Amino acid sequence: MIIPVILSGGTGSRLWPLSRELYPKQLLPLVNDQTMLQNTVLRTKGQEDVAEPIIVCNEEHRFMVAEQLRSISATPKAILLEPVGRNTAPAVAVAALHALVDANDPLLLILPSDHVIQNFACFHKAVAEGAELARNGMLVTFGIVPNAPESGYGYIKAGEALRVKGVAAGAFKVEQFVEKPDQATAEQYLASGDYYWNSGMFLFSANSYLQELEQCAPEMVRACRMSIELAKSDQDFVRLDKSAFASCLSDSIDYAVMEKTDKAVVIPLDTGWNDVGAWSALWEIGEKDKDGNVVRGDVIAHDSHGCYFQSNNRLVTAVGLEDHVIVETADAVLVAPKNRVQDVKSIVNQLNAQGRSESVIHRKVYRPWGAYQSVDNAERFQVKRITVNPGATLSLQMHHHRAEHWIVVKGTACITKGAETIMLSENQSVYIPLGVTHRLENPGVIPLELIEVQSGSYLGEDDIVRFEDHYGRT
């Protein structure tokens, strides 16, 4: 049995302003109607002996991950919640330990959640061939056949060819993992034919990986084992023990295991792969118009060529641009030459240094019960548009510093206000004074939409005292 382990813990800061800390690129529909995470899960379907996946994700994203899986009828074996980020080696270790609880040394197919693969048949074939090696104790990585001297990727140098029954496409011992080269060195790698891009995808048995990790980083295995033993089930999720997992060294699979083991094998993969690491990558894989532009959303461009345009809220117009990226969201606009988009991370670093929220959240913020969107704000008031899913309920809560006025614009609201229970329909409203315990529920079968006007001396999201919550939040 092969269990896909999908790693969904990144933030994708180079795709700001669309990708943000609380709504990262793997949860966004960047290349088609499905999100990157959904595409990754769907890519594993249709393969013989492949089980439902284990997802490893940030606990802040847990409800969005669960909802996205539900919407494509995927039932994961588990959603493991990382209390802190510790890179890929510990993430895979806890997935391996969890998989061994219910299965006898399954094979684990390690997949980042934010890559594009266009040729599914080729991918499935490579996985089947890699499985033959993994069953014999090999640690398989998939090396992307390079089509350009790319200096933005790490490389894998292939060594001695392996002759293994059932591996028709060929496999090679890994001679060396190489860091991102300069342009001249990348050109040499491409010309030699011995180097492949490091995809970050792996295939090995759970025990093989843990045994190698035990030799290379025994303390990491101990911490991961403890975090699983002390983990708690919470609805659809497995919460890793925070203290144990936080004590774990942060390291990648490459550094922790693959560069040190003598069992590393690389299988070449030529599937139309792209790691979507920057806006230029979306231009590369996008459908282009007659001027070589990729256009998403409401855009009018004149005499512009080789550009990537994305509008999410407003009309975007451009005149006379060459090889640029313009991305518009409700609260930020990015303009950059296409060959400088790797530097977008510097903008995110500046936003973080200034304590600005634009690096963390969008104006529309998703919650397990629905979403809210900021409409207007000033020093002592804030206006939000709130959407509550059918059957969903907000926590029973109160605020120390703000009062709230709710106006229903669509659907039906059941409101707890102190000891009262109030039913409201469209065009009706209620006032929640400061300090009063309250709760909002949608008892209907259509989304509930309302306008919330907050007023008070402090309007931060941390001014919430929760007494009851269906979603396990404190």
Residue 270 — φ and ψ, nearest 5°?
Answer: -125, 85
Residue extent(s) of CATH 2.60.120.10 domains in the chain: 364-468
Amino acid letter for position 254: D
pLDDT in tens, 246-283: 999 999 999 999 999 999 999 999 999 999 999 999 99
Task: Tell me whether strands 465-468 and 420-424 are parallel, antiparallel or unpaired.
Answer: unpaired
Of 384, 438, 448, nearest to 413 (Cα)?
Answer: 448
Task: Output b/e per residue, 245-258; b: 16+ Cβ within 10 A.
Answer: bebbeebbbbebbb
Report the sign of the C-alpha dihedral through residues 291, 294, 296, 299, in that order: negative
Specify whether the CB–CB gap between 19 and 57 falls below 8 A.
no
Return the CATH class of domain 364-468.
mainly beta
Parts of the chain belonging to CATH 3.90.550.10? 2-274
pLDDT tens column, 71-89: 999 999 999 999 999 999 9
For residues 63 and 367, the answer to whether their CB atoms sit within 8 Å is: yes
Overall pTM > 0.85 = yes
* Residue pLDDT, tens place only, 402-435: 999 999 999 999 999 999 999 999 999 999 999 9
pLDDT band at residue 360 under the 50/70/90 scheme: very high
Which whole-number Å values give the CA distances from 72 to 12, 33, 34, 135, 445, in the listed order? 23, 12, 9, 30, 21
pLDDT digits (tens, 9 = 90+) for 275-326: 999 999 999 999 999 999 999 999 999 999 999 999 999 999 999 999 999 9
Say what the pLDDT of residue 175 is.
95
172-190 pLDDT, tens digit per residue, is 999 999 999 999 999 999 9
Determine the Cα–Cα distance for residues 239 and 234; give it in Å rounded to an integer.
Answer: 7
Beta bridge partners of 110: 5, 202
Half-sphere exposure of 70 (CA within 13 A, CB side): 7
Measure the CA–CA gap between 432 and 419, rounded to whole angstroms: 12
> CA dist 459 to 371, 432, 439, Å?
17, 14, 18
The one-letter code for the residue type at 272 is G
Q: What percent of the chain has pLDDT over 90?
A: 91
Strand, helix or coil at 437?
coil
Helices (H), 253-368: 253, 279-285, 344-353
* Fold of the domain built from segment(s) 2-274: Spore Coat Polysaccharide Biosynthesis Protein SpsA; Chain A (3.90.550)
Closest Cα to residue 126, out of 274, 6, 2?
Answer: 2
Closest listed residue to residue 206, CA positions, set 99, 126, 127:
99
| Helical pair 88-102 and 218-229, crossing angle rounded to 10 deg | 50
**Residues whose CB is less than 8 angstroms from the CB of residue 463 and which lie 6 or more positions away in sequence, other chains included:** 399, 400, 401, 402
Task: Classify 205 as helix, strand or coil.
Answer: strand
Give me the half-sphere count of Cα atoms (radius 13 Å) on the Cβ side of residue 90. 29
Q: What is the DSSP string of 302-332?
A: ES-BS-EEEESSS-EEEES-BSEEEEE-SS-
